[in-house]
Amino acid sequence: MAEPPADLASPEFASLYAENSRAIYYLALRFLGDPQKAEDATHDVFLKAFRKLGQFRGEASLRTWLYRIAINHCQNLCRSWQDRHVFSNADDAVWENATAQTDSPLRVLETKELGQRIQKALDGLSDEYRLLLLLVADAELSYEHVGALVGQSPDAVRGKLHRARKAFAALFEKTA
Amino acid sequence: MKQQTKLSEEQQQHAAEHQTQQPAVKEFATAEELLRYDAAHTPVPPVIAQRLQKSTSDLPGPKPAWWKRWLGGTRP
């Protein structure tokens, strides 16, 4: 966890930011695919959270609550831009027939290009698969949490995750 | 004997150089493991906190959650 920024509005908000800003920024960065847009989105998400903190019911964790705000925000941005080529779920067959190599571990060299390769692979996925992988990558979220965030049952999350992993691996291999 | 030792040192040095030239290969079992690694190495731009500080300075502080107010755990 990063040190809470001392000059944020209140100690409560400062620790909320310190504990969750990396997760929210990373989601925005890889979902939107643009560092400047991710910066704006992270700012807007936390500003919204600051205004609505009093409405937080404590039914979910603060992390889950922030993710919900962030997902809505990023999806609204994507809807209004309409500037991203996405694969529909109809393309699943492509990944189902992908070579067996996609089941092997992902091997990478530690290079500066790793982020670009990941972004390229994520950009080739549908919004649904991209979001699923990004949420499951957060070790703090269980399949139940992820399911609640994407409106799916934990079993559906597991099933889709399998296909999303396969699709990602196939796309990631192509970026090498 | 001394020659042998020298050769061995050269060989060792060569092997060490060769090893340092080899790029480190990392393996990730799943996509999310790779993403977790990437997230851990992606810093949050400090400018976001600065912008938030500016944006929130004119706003009243966040109210405690309704259930905290109800429980009386936090007093204004």
Fold of A11-81: Rna Polymerase Sigma Factor; Chain: A (1.10.1740)
pLDDT value, residue B8: 65
- pLDDT greater than 50 at residue A61: yes
pLDDT score recorded for residue B13: 67
B13-64 pLDDT, tens digit each: 665 665 556 667 888 999 999 999 999 999 999 999 999 999 998 777 666 6
Contact A3, B53 (CB under 8 A): no
Give A116-153 pLDDT, tens digit per residue: 999 999 999 999 999 999 999 999 999 999 999 999 99
Q: What pLDDT is recorded for position B19? A: 56
Q: In terms of DSSP H, where are the helices of A53-175?
A: 62-81, 92-96, 114-123, 127-136, 143-150, 154-174
Does the CB of B5 have a partner CB in chain A at under 8 Å? no
Which of chain A's residues have a Cβ under 8 Å away from the Cβ of B47?
39
* H or E segment to which residue A106 belongs: strand A106-109
Instruction: Tell the burial category of A130 from Cβ atoms under 10 Å away from its Cβ (0-12, 13-18, 19+).
Output: buried
- Cβ within 8 Å, pair A108-B25: yes
pLDDT in tens, A10-48: 888 999 999 999 999 999 999 999 999 999 999 999 999
Q: How confident is the model at residue A108 (pLDDT cuts 50, 70, 90)?
A: confident
Global pTM reads: 0.77
Instruction: Output the pLDDT for position B76.
Output: 40
Q: What are the residue boundaries of the structural domains of chain A, listed by start?
A: 11-81, 89-174
Nearest to A43 among B36, B52, B57 (CB): B52
For A134, the closest of B35, B65, B68 (CB atoms) is: B35
> Phi and psi (nearest 5°) for B30?
-135, 165
Model confidence at B9: pLDDT above 80: no
Average pLDDT, chain A: 85
- d(C-alpha A165, C-alpha A104), whole Å: 11
* Residues A26/A2, Cβ–Cβ less than 8 Å: no
Q: What is the least distance, in Å, from the CA of B52 to any CA of chain A?
A: 6
B55 and chain A: CB distance < 8 Å anywhere? yes
Put simply, the answer to whether A21 touches B44 (Cβ < 8 Å) is yes
Output the pLDDT for position A38: 97
Residues in chain A: 176
Q: What is the pLDDT of residue A100?
A: 41
* Residue A63: predicted pLDDT: 94
Least confident range from A30-44, A50-64, A68-82, B54-68: namely B54-68
Q: State which H helix or E strand residue B28 sits in.
A: strand B25-28
pLDDT at residue A147 in the model: 97
- Cβ contact, residue pair A106, B47, below 8 Å: no
User: Is the minimum CB–CB distance between B70 and chain A shorter than 8 Å?
Assistant: no
A89-174 architecture in CATH? Orthogonal Bundle (1.10)
- Name the nearest CA neighbour of B39 among A84, A130, A114: A114
| Cα B45 from Cα A140, distance rounded (Å) | 22
Is the predicted pLDDT of residue A9 greater than 80, yes or no? no
Task: Please list every residue in chain B whose beta carbon sits closer than 8 Å to the beta carbon of residue A53.
Answer: 62-65
pLDDT of residue A90: 43
Write down the ipTM of this complex. 0.83
> Which residues of B, range 9-28, sit inside 8 Å of A by Cβ?
23-28
Q: What is the token pair recorded at A35?
A: 């560092």
Taking the CA of residue B7 and the nearest CA in chain A, the distance in Å comes to 32
